[in-house]
Amino acid sequence: MIKVGVVGGTGYTGVELLRLLTGHPETELVVITSRTEAGKPVADLFPNLRGSLELAFSEPDIEQLCTCELVFFATPNGTAMGMTPQLLEAGVRVIDLAADFRLRQADLWQQWYGMPHACPQLLEQAVYGLPEVNRAAIAQARLVANPGCYPTAVQLGFLPLLEAGLVNADQLIADAKSGVSGAGRKAATGSLLCEASENFKAYGVAGHRHLPEIRQGLAAASGAPVGLTFVAHLTPMIRGIHATLYAQLQDTAEDLQVLFESRYRDEPFVDVLPAGAHPETRSVRGANHCRIAVHRPQQGNTVVVLAVIDNLVKGAAGQALQNMNIMFGFQEQAGLADIALLP
């Protein structure tokens, strides 16, 4: 049993993390922080946790957090990097669900996030927490950068093709759609029911913050920089990401179905569907799975990969728990066995 703290427990990612942690057999939640809700019982804000979690929110206190063995940051970008050095110095392991440690280069971080990095010396030490790629490094990590939701779906879809060198890495296209919860739990006009319902739109076409993260991961898989066009869309649903990925084959002799099944055969949270299948976001709602299908329309040179995840689970809190399990030597599926919710 390990003592766990959560910094920033009031957002959608935060409550999903709390829901999963309360059902984990190896964790004891000892502190949940929120500056705005300090003193309020967590279950008053999130009634789904009533009877399962008796803690109240508290002000962030570094000394109290240093008594934990692991601290999760479910905070806005730029928060974790201010407290992480002290926690690491105290021997506390850290998993950041925001973007503070995802990019390797401090200047790239500043370019995309509009602020200087507070501890650039930790960027090389941080392990990118995509278990399907970095499981061994995660097991030894003190600091894990939990991947973003779009980057998780896009990378898992493209990885087998790039690792095998089967596609033109200069001409990758990722067309991805997300539910409104991906925008966070905040008062914003674009997230209002009357704005988001019965509507569909692209955003961030000129440059989305997840673009450099995706490029970084795909370049590592390819062994060289990649050319990627990434377009995000907002869909009128609460949860889910659907990524439709396109690439041009350089070798049409490979059996793509066998390639994907072989790459993910031993991955507990990646499900390669039968040939001809079309994964649905509802098939992963509330679960830590990524479901993938690979297509080659009309047996041409274009390969189309379809990947779906729940943006709050495999795209955030569930993947963070998966990383925790690997870091502490727990069974990787511990606390993550929930079946997706239907309808």
Domain ranges of the chain: 2-125, 149-311
Where does the pLDDT of residue 187 fall: very low under 50, low under 70, confident under 90, or very high at 90 and above?
confident
* 119 counts as catalytic: no
Instruction: Find the mean pLDDT for residues 303-329.
Output: 98
pLDDT for the residue numbered 61: 95
Instruction: Find the mean pLDDT for residues 184-196.
Output: 86
Going by their DSSP bridges, the two strands 143-145 and 201-203 should be labelled as unpaired
pLDDT for the residue numbered 173: 98
* Distance between CA atoms of residues 83 and 61, nearest Å: 10
44: pLDDT strictly greater than 90: yes
Whole-number average pLDDT of the chain:
96
- Between 275 and 186, residue with greater pLDDT: 275
Phi, psi of 313, deg, nearest 5 = -110, -90
Percent of the chain with pLDDT over 90: 95
Buried b (16+ CB within 10 A) or exposed e, 199-218: eeeeeeeeebbbbbbbbbbb
Where does the pLDDT of residue 192 fall: very low under 50, low under 70, confident under 90, or very high at 90 and above?
confident
* Distance between CA atoms of residues 103 and 166, nearest Å: 26
142: pLDDT strictly greater than 90: yes
Q: How many CB atoms lie within 10 A of CB 342?
A: 9
Spatial CA neighbour of 340 closest among 291, 288, 293, 274: 288
pLDDT for the residue numbered 183: 84
Where does the pLDDT of residue 23 fall: very low under 50, low under 70, confident under 90, or very high at 90 and above?
very high
Phi, psi of 224, deg, nearest 5 = -160, 160
Model-level pTM? 0.96
Q: What homologous superfamily is domain 2-125 in, according to CATH?
A: NAD(P)-binding Rossmann-like Domain (3.40.50.720)
CATH value of 149-311 in 3.30.1330.90, 3.40.50.300, 1.20.1250.20, 3.30.360.10 = 3.30.360.10
Catalytic residue among 68, 119, 149, 290: 149
> What residues form DSSP beta bridges with 270?
290
308: pLDDT strictly greater than 90: yes
Where does the pLDDT of residue 188 fall: very low under 50, low under 70, confident under 90, or very high at 90 and above?
confident
3-state helix, strand, coil in the chain (%, to 5): 35, 20, 45
Q: At what angle do helices 210-222 and 131-139 cross, to 10 degrees?
A: 80
pLDDT for the residue numbered 48: 95
191: pLDDT strictly greater than 90: no
Where does the pLDDT of residue 144 fall: very low under 50, low under 70, confident under 90, or very high at 90 and above?
very high
